[in-house]
Amino acid sequence: MASLSAASRLCLRSAAKPAVPAVRALSSTAVQAAGAASYSSPFKGETTGSKIPNFGKYASKNSAAGNKLFSYFMVGSMGALTAAGAKSTVSEFLVNMSASADVLAMAKVEVDLNAIPEGKNVIIKWRGKPIFIRHRTESEIAEANKVDVASLRDPQNDDDRVQKPEWLIMVGVCTHLGCVPIGEAGDFGGWFCPCHGSHYDISGRIRKGPAPLNLEIPVYEFPEEGKLVIG
Ligand code: FES
């Protein structure tokens, strides 16, 4: 019984083996036949293996020179547009940062000199600082000019400190530590700073005390007779 059973198992195996390739072959043939009907390869030439797709239908029909010209034109145009945009942005930023009209108006101060009699001081405010305006007399001008400039701590001729000898215009801030000196005071008939005892002469030059420099001369002009513009 045992040998009969083994023989029947062997017989069954040998009968079953050829059936698988036959099914596989049938299956692949069916797929190929179906694919050939509905699929066309995107690759040039060979139908098998990895190849570069053919993009010929997307390629430009123009000449190489024409394509280059178009590329250069586009790059140049984009560059010009970008530069114009950047310039506009920077310009607007700078305009925003610049001083407004009311601030610019404060930058200059106009003074009517006809209202200041000879031998008198006037103090005005300009950009937050006091400005001394002295209408000097003939004797004060002569006194300012007779000083030996070489003996001064900050040597400066009177002529170099004034545009018109009769008008002395200075920033009224002591060059020591920034106090405001008092006019018509001190040992030299000019200005005296009470903070630490600096004496300035009738030309605003330091003559005595700790201040190192003469009183500063601001930017000013006489646009017409009897008119002073500071700033
Ligand atoms: S601040 Fe004028 S003398 Fe010191």
The rounded distance, in Å, linking the Cα atoms of 73 and 169 is: 62
- pLDDT value, residue 47: 58
CA distances from 44 to 37, 40, 53, 54, 61 (A): 19, 11, 7, 6, 19
Residue 128 belongs to a domain: yes
Determine the distance separating the centroid of ligand 1 and the alpha carbon of 163, expressed in angstroms: 27
Domain at 149, CATH number: 2.102.10.10
The rounded distance, in Å, linking the Cα atoms of 186 and 140 is: 15
Question: Are residues 82 and 134 both part of a single domain?
Answer: no
Residue 133 belongs to a domain: yes
- pLDDT value, residue 58: 84
Catalytic pick from 135, 176, 196, 199?
196
Mutation to probe ligand 1, out of 170, 182, 198, 206 (largest number of atoms < 8 A from CB): 198
The rounded distance, in Å, linking the Cα atoms of 22 and 42 is: 32
The rounded distance, in Å, linking the Cα atoms of 112 and 167 is: 12
Per-residue pLDDT of the chain (231 residues; tens, 9 = 90+): 444 444 445 444 544 444 444 444 444 444 444 444 455 666 656 556 667 778 888 888 888 888 899 999 999 999 999 999 999 999 999 988 887 777 776 788 999 999 999 999 999 999 889 999 999 999 999 999 999 999 999 999 999 999 999 999 999 999 999 999 999 999 999 999 999 999 999 999 999 999 999 999 999 999 999 999 998
- pLDDT value, residue 9: 55
Q: If you take atom 1 of ligand 1, which residue's CA is the nearest one? A: 177
C-beta contacts of 153-160 below 8 A and 24+ residues apart? 153/206, 153/207, 153/212, 153/213, 154/205, 154/206, 154/212, 154/213, 154/214, 156/203, 156/205, 156/214, 158/203
144 Ramachandran zone, left/alpha/beta (phi>0; psi -120 to 50): alpha
Question: Are residues 93 and 120 both part of a single domain?
Answer: no
Question: Are residues 218 and 115 both part of a single domain?
Answer: yes
Q: If you take atom 3 of ligand 1, which residue's CA is the nearest one? A: 196
Q: Which one-letter DSSP state was computed for residue 100?
A: P
Runs of H (alpha helix) within the chain = 2-16, 19-38, 64-97, 101-107, 138-145
Q: Model's pTM, two decimal places?
A: 0.58
Question: Are residues 88 and 196 both part of a single domain?
Answer: no
Question: Are residues 89 and 122 both part of a single domain?
Answer: no
Assess contact for 199 and 207: CB atoms under 8 A. yes
Among candidates 109, 114, 113, 147, which has minimal Cα distance to 133? 113
**196 annotated active-site:** yes
Determine the distance separating the centroid of ligand 1 and the alpha carbon of 195, expressed in angstroms: 5
- pLDDT value, residue 163: 96
Determine the distance separating the centroid of ligand 1 and the alpha carbon of 180, expressed in angstroms: 8
Domain that holds residue 81: 69-98
Question: Are residues 141 and 166 both part of a single domain?
Answer: yes
Q: Which one-letter DSSP state was computed for residue 48?
A: S
